[in-house]
Structure 1
Amino acid sequence: MKIKELADLVGISVRTLHHYDEIGLFKPEKTNASGHRLYFEDDLEVLQQILFYKELGFPLKKIKEIIHSPDFDRQEALELHRKTLLEKSCRISKMLELIEKMIQHSKGEIRMSNKEKFEGFNFSHNPYEQEARERWGDRAVDHSNNKIRNMSKEEQKNLEEEMSFIYRNLADLRHQSPSSQEAQSAIHKWFEWLNTIGDYSLEAFKGLGQLYVDDKRFTKNIDQFGEGLALFMRDAMAVYADNSQQ
């Protein structure tokens, strides 16, 4: 089929397909006598993979690396897509259930404990992993992931609970000065926690704090514990890094 036919079939614009071609992401191998691009069954499968990865939040540059790698296995990729989407569906269901309970709680229809208010959050999942790979490279992220995988289920659960405790504690302190002794003591625990699963220098720690504010996805997620928490953590992390380097 020609490019317009493919665009209509898939539901994306011709301009998008032209862009994919220009960057070497999705380029048909054949053209007709007039020079028009021609797409075949194999091309459709490649495009489907691109759209799967795009839906999961991968940048085009990374998608190009993946699907054009000699080690790329389409069947394995499909299995991974299914697993990822099922996990995402499960998380959304849990969050919807939590929100329904919170609505009932706010109306006074039920009473929830503080622990129950955070049961829908899953800190073992990192929705910003791809962002981290783009900023700090695959090696650093893989090192962190391997640390977590080598932990027992109980150790992972304890790690999640500790993270939740640190966030709640910081949320309670967010109206204080980021340079206060209490704030710095709390942010020190966050620095130690991060280095439990990774290898953060003071400079990287400070940069991560800035990302909490620059990236609205981070801000939205962190501020669920208290409005303004991301900004407070950014400032506290900067003070901590600067003071520790003196």
Structure 2
Amino acid sequence: MKPHLAAAALSLAAVLMTGAVSAQATADEPMDPPRAGKALRDRDFGVATRQFGLERQVEMYQWRAGADGYTRVWHTAPIDSSSFPAGHENPKRVPLEQRRWWSQDATLDGRPIDLQVLQTLGQWRVFRPNFSRLPANLAASFQPEGDGLGSAENPLDPQVGDLRIQWRELHLPSLEGKVELRDGRWQLTPAAAAQALTAARASAVVELPPGQDRKLLPWLLAGAAALALAALTWRRMRRRAH
């Protein structure tokens, strides 16, 4: 099968569904930008954001085995060095955990936004926090490095076991046409959910023997059209119910 043909067909289904939904006027379209609510805080480091999510990323400098021998790399998870030769020992664990905080009171037009909307549509961006509230015990172990903090005495020459920490905050794009009010909450539309599912499947496309792509393409396109028709029918039934 030609690379990503199945994913392309699924993407076509999502596009058709999106077009079918957006072609209809709806009284449930959001009017104002979404609001994140209360600030999210990483209290360990005194880091805060007023966006829709906060993430602490932690990397540790470690030995890693490769085709060219042993090299030192930054890695988020501990690398097992039990089979490495002497002088290539890694710490058995990363002393700081990675964490995520999600906005629990995000709203749109005064109505709550479902957590799945944040997790599906949100975009993570690295930001440089203000470290003025860094606790004294951590200030003794970490210093500013790039957009975050590092434990290396010399950032240009880190040693095995040194840590590097960055923070990301979650931004929301425009939600127009991607969410609808259900049960008093803004939730993903079927089209937006289908697009997210398509993106997830696109990373796991299975190759088929040569020639099979042309045999399957009509079926894939037919399935895409069926999905679009089902979404359109569902929307019309929902409108009539209201």
TM range, normalised to the smaller chain?
A: under 0.3
TM-score normalised by L of structure 1: 0.21
TM-score normalised by L of structure 2: 0.21
Structure 1 or 2, whichever has the larger Rg, is 2
Q: Which protein has the bigger strand share?
A: 2
Q: Which protein has the bigger helix share?
A: 1
